[in-house]
Amino acid sequence: MTLIEIFGDGEHLNMLQMSSRGIVTFFIALILFRVSGRRSSGLKTPLDNIIMVLLGAVLSRGVVGASPYVPVVMTCLAIVLMHRFFAWCVAKYPKLGSVLEGDKILVYYQDRFIRENMINKEFSKEDVMQGVRKAALTEDLEQIDKIYIEKNGEISTVKKM
């Protein structure tokens, strides 16, 4: 059996060929995510979300035969290396991180919601309270000093001392 019989060529793939491509792509994706580092699947910032979307889109083209397989894999490697480079730059230069990923936004302080910041980030009071219940395990704002919308969109809280 030749590689063409196992993996096919072009868009007209049978079940064995597409399955073979899917299995190989799974392991390639696993390697790519290991190369990209824990950040790409942990922080969920805009920079990290970009790599997830791009890799999924590009790798799928290789599985279904819409693009030649080796260029697909090399493109994904380039995306992962670029992500790794930008992640390093963000870690080394915090101001660049603010430009690429944004900053946390204060939405509650001194016992009041900061409506303009909530409106700017398109969060309602109930959206914020949902995050408070998750993060602080309470609905009692008397216990909360500050509430932030983090750069990844999650709500975080700082309890009063």
Q: Where are the domains of the chain?
A: 3-99, 103-159
Confidence check: pLDDT of 40 > 60: no
Contact present, 143 and 118 (Cβ < 8 Å): no
What is the model's pTM? 0.70
First to last CA, the chain: 70
Please give the residue that has the higher pLDDT: either 31 or 101: 31
**In the CATH hierarchy, which top-level class contains the domain 103-159?**
alpha beta
**Res 39: pLDDT:** 56
Q: Which two tokens stand for residue 59?
A: 């790798």
140 phi and psi angles, rounded to 5 deg: -80, 100
Confidence check: pLDDT of 25 > 80: yes
151 phi and psi angles, rounded to 5 deg: -65, -20
Q: Which of 154, 49, 37, 38 is nearest to 100 (CA)?
A: 49
**Res 38: pLDDT:** 61
